[in-house]
């Protein structure tokens, strides 16, 4: 895609400018979206995922039970 030296790509990964998944000592997986974001950031729409928790999950996080005093 871009004619750059491999060390340039590794530097971008190390500094966090380019997202990559390290598969082994010498192998990285770089998503196309990450490359496009580095080369043409104005054309990449940021992805957003909104997760609404279930009402059951909310109840599990805030239990409605009484705390009994020890020795009472």
What pLDDT digit, counting tens, does each position of 9-65 carry? Answer: 999 999 999 999 999 998 999 999 898 888 887 776 666 767 776 666 555 555 555
What does DSSP assign to residue 52?
Answer: P
What does DSSP assign to residue 71?
Answer: T
Q: What is the pLDDT of residue 43?
A: 74
CA distances from 32 to 7, 49, 72 (A): 19, 19, 64
Q: What is the pLDDT of residue 55?
A: 63
Q: What is the pLDDT of residue 40?
A: 85
Q: What is the pTM of this model?
A: 0.55
Largest Cα–Cα separation, the chain: 75
């Amino acid at each position: 895609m871009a004619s750059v030296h491999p060390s340039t790509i590794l530097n971008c990964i190390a500094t966090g400018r380019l997202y990559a998944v390290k598969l082994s000592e010498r192998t990285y997986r770089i998503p196309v979206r990450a490359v496009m974001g580095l080369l043409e950031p104005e054309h990449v729409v940021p992805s957003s995922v909104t997760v609404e928790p279930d009402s059951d999950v909310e109840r599990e996080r805030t239990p409605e039970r009484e705390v009994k005093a020890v020795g009472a």
